[in-house]
């Protein structure tokens, strides 16, 4: 448990929340807020995927499909039916969850990791192709534009605007989602459900012999994971306001998110957050060298798998604490 | 569908199927012997495409020489890939996912690397065989017929090696039980390297046959990788013969489906078929003996 969550997980979330409250008051330009907004959205995406990939131990490779489903479902409904994005993002999450449970069924029948990886990958490819082929509805690879941003909110006389160009509002939405999702997920994982997930990861047969209903729990985890990823996709859609099937469900999205999770730490609760932060910021710094971004992601995945398979989150606890203890001792002496 | 059209559909299905079979059987060979899913397999295909472009077009070597050089070079690269990246990871407890992750990373690294070195443009390789074969009312370019013939020939040779030679027996023994093979004096590690080399050779053959038809570009391996994996699963994970059969089946399904739905839906049908098969028969359609 300690290994997965670190020492004080709730305190860590509180610290993140405080940091995020402080950020808008810092003298940062809109561009920095934009990068941080993307980081928060991708961190939620990565955390949702990590639930099946790392915490449940099912090596799924198709979660970018749920991101795309959440994004397109919310975008299409709000565009065509004029429903407020504040409502349609939940619809996106629910539809993604249903898709997650549906694709969960074939996976229940499979125990071999390669099968799971390929089925989920094939599923994501189907989703991408369907989105790009339904041109009358989604405009295919030309891109679906005209997605409404979140409706403005008026609190005590000040109106908060959302969407690109309104950096503060979008950052606030992403930050609330980030804190909310991580807090709720941590509460879920710290309860009996979390223990059950870890038991399934560490030994399916043993867990089953102790009365854990494997099928139901796996479907539940798939649903929750897909819902989180779908929600992040929906918020992304109403932030960037244009979607193409390749940008949300293509191989680049798979690689980017996989890199975030692996660099951060597969199966560590906070790992994907670190990974998302590091990679979102570094890929922005590399913006002028656009072609090198995927080269960097590929190289990072290989390097971390070889040198630090537990990721950034796995590196910290021992070495950091020891260094802190070492640093604090002379301080006490004075 | 007229008779001529039907025959053409079937032949076209067999031709694209033979490429799927070349790629899938290589992946199946690797999976059968090492339980590794090699996500960088598509990039071996891509690199072989650039090699044949270099030798046959830029340097203007005769076709046979260019093809031989490409195959040898790509087999060496395949062996190197296994030695440098996969063999060290196999010693780990969680190697199954480590290898998947590392080969995915390598795959994207090679794609972006190729893009930086050779640029984004799609480069054409001229047809190796000219003219059109006319049998009755069926017309088929010789280049496409050559794909089918050469692919069958190469896979036939691989099948003979696997099932009729001592090397093949060694490979199959390692596939059944690597530790037991080691116990009777088979160097399992070296066998794994050989299998990767053979598999790379099969992908290289596919690349040579394909390059005049689809042009060489950094992403040419991507779509074939997923098709290759589909073939591996449909054929029963790890079965060489099963993968060959499944490759042709997948090609036929695609070409026949094009007769009924717009062609951009054919991949949707192929992958939906894959998921349906896994749900109904997780052991694959042609499950049998390993390797």
| pLDDT tens for each residue of A146-190 | 888 888 887 777 777 787 677 888 898 999 999 999 999 999 988
Q: Is A255 in Cβ contact with B108 (below 8 Å)?
A: yes
pLDDT of B135 > 90? The answer is: no
Kindly identify which residue of chain A lies nearest to residue B90, measuring between CA atoms.
A306
In chain A, which ranges are continuous DSSP H helix?
2-5, 9-22, 30-50, 64-81, 85-108, 113-133, 135-138, 167-190, 192-202, 204-209, 214-240, 245-249, 251-264, 271-285, 292-307, 311-333
Q: Is B113 in Cβ contact with A114 (below 8 Å)?
A: no
pLDDT per residue as tens digits for the range B202-231: 999 999 998 888 889 898 888 899 899 989
pLDDT of B291 > 50? The answer is: no
Chain A residues 127-186 with a CB less than 8 Å from chain B = 129-130, 132-133
> Does domain B3-280 sit in CATH 1.20.1260?
no
Tell me the domain boundaries of chain B.
3-280
pLDDT of B58 > 70? The answer is: yes
Averaged pLDDT for residues A273-300: 85
pLDDT of B283 > 80? The answer is: no
Partners of A299 on chain B (C-beta within 8 Å) are 105, 109
% of chain A at pLDDT higher than 70 = 93
The CA-atom distances, in angstroms, between B273 and each of B42, B95, B231, B257 are 22, 29, 11, 12
Range with the poorest average pLDDT among A75-89, B236-250, B275-289: B275-289
Q: What is the pLDDT of residue A334?
A: 42
* Helix/strand/coil for B216: strand
Distance CA B169, CA B174 (A): 9
Q: What is the pLDDT of residue A194?
A: 84
Contact A143, A243 (CB under 8 A): yes
Sequence-separated (6 or more) residues with CB below 8 Å from residue A141: A132, A244, A245, A246
Q: Which domains does chain A have, with CATH numbers?
A: 2-333 (1.10.3470)
Kindly identify which residue of chain A lies nearest to residue B112, measuring between CA atoms.
A295
DSSP labels for A27-69?
---HHHHHHHHHHHHHHHHHHHHHIIIIII------THHHHHH
Pick from B97, B98, B279: which is nearest to A109 by CB? B279
Q: Is A118 in Cβ contact with B37 (below 8 Å)?
A: yes
Averaged pLDDT for residues B35-46: 92
Range with the poorest average pLDDT among A148-157, A186-195, B3-12, B188-197: A148-157
Residue A216 Cα, gap to closest chain B Cα (Å): 17
Partners of B31 on chain A (C-beta within 8 Å) are 114
pLDDT greater at residue A67 or residue A21 = A67
Q: Is A115 in Cβ contact with B233 (below 8 Å)?
A: yes
ipTM, two decimals: 0.89
pLDDT per residue as tens digits for the range A159-168: 777 876 778 8
% of chain B at pLDDT higher than 70 = 98
Kindly identify which residue of chain A lies nearest to residue B238, measuring between CA atoms.
A114
Q: What is the pLDDT of residue A292?
A: 80
Burial of B287 (0-12, 13-18, 19+ CB in 10 A): middle
DSSP labels for B59-79?
S---HHHHHHHHHHHHHHHHH
């Amino acid at each position: 448990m300690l290994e997965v969550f670190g020492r004080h997980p709730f305190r860590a979330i509180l610290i993140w929340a405080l940091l995020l409250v402080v950020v808008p008051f810092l003298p940062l330009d809109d561009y920095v807020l934009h990068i941080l907004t993307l980081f928060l959205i991708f961190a939620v995406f990565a955390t949702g995927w990590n639930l099946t990939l790392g915490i449940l131990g099912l090596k799924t490779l198709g979660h970018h499909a749920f991101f795309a489903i959440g994004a397109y479902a919310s975008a299409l409904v709000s565009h065509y039916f004029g429903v407020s994005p504040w409502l349609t993002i939940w619809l996106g999450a629910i539809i993604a969850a249903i898709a997650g449970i549906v694709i969960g069924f074939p996976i229940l029948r499979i125990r071999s990791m390669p099968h799971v990886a390929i089925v989920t990958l094939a599923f994501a490819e189907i989703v991408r192709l369907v989105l790009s082929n339904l041109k009358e509805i989604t405009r295919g690879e030309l891109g679906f534009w005209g997605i409404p941003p979140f409706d403005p909110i008026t609190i005590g006389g000040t109106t908060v605007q959302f969407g690109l160009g309104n950096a503060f509002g979008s950052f606030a939405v992403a930050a609330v989602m980030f804190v909310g999702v991580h807090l709720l997920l941590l509460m879920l994982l710290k309860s009996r459900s979390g223990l059950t997930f870890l038991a399934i990861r560490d030994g399916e047969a043993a867990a089953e012999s102790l009365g854990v209903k494997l099928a139901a729990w796996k479907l539940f985890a798939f649903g929750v994971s897909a819902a989180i990823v779908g929600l992040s996709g929906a918020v992304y859609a109403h932030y960037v306001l244009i979607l193409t099937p390749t940008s949300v469900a293509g191989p680049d999205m798979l690689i980017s998110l996989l890199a975030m999770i692996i660099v951060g730490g597969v199966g560590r609760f906070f790992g994907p957050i670190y990974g998302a932060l590091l990679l979102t910021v570094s890929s922005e710094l590399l913006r002028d060298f656009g072609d090198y971004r995927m080269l960097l992601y590929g190289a990072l995945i290989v390097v971390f798998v070889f040198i630090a398979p537990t990721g950034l989150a796995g590196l910290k606890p021992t070495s950091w604490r020891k260094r802190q203890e070492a640093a604090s001792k002379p301080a006490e002496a004075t | 569908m007229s008779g001529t059209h039907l025959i053409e559909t079937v032949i076209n299905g067999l031709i694209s199927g033979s490429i799927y079979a070349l790629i899938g059987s290589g992946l199946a060979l690797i999976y059968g012997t090492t339980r590794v899913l090699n996500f960088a397999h598509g990039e071996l295909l891509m690199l072989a495409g650039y090699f044949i472009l270099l030798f046959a077009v830029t340097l203007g070597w005769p076709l046979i020489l260019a093809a031989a050089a490409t195959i040898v070079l790509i087999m060496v690269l395949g062996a190197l890939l296994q030695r440098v990246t996969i063999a060290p990871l196999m010693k780990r407890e969680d190697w199954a996912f480590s290898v998947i992750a590392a080969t995915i990373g390598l795959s994207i690294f090679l794609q972006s690397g190729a893009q930086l070195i050779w640029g984004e443009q799609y480069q054409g390789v001229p047809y190796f065989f000219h003219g059109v074969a006319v049998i009755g009312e069926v017309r088929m370019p010789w280049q496409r017929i050559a794909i089918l013939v050469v692919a069958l020939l190469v896979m036939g040779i691989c099948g003979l090696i696997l099932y009729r030679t001592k090397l093949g027996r060694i490979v199959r023994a390692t596939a059944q039980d690597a530790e037991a093979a080691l116990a009777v004096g088979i160097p399992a590690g070296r066998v794994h390297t050989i299998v990767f080399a053979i598999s790379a050779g099969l992908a290289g053959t596919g690349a040579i046959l394909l390059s005049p038809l689809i042009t060489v570009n950094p992403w040419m391996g991507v779509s074939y990788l997923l098709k290759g994996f589909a073939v591996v699963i449909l054929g029963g994970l790890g079965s060489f013969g099963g993968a060959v059969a499944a490759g042709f089946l997948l090609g036929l399904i695609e070409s026949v489906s094009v007769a009924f739905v717009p062609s951009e839906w054919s991949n949707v049908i192929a992958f939906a078929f894959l998921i349906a098969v896994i749900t109904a028969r997780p052991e694959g359609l042609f499950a049998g003996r390993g390797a």
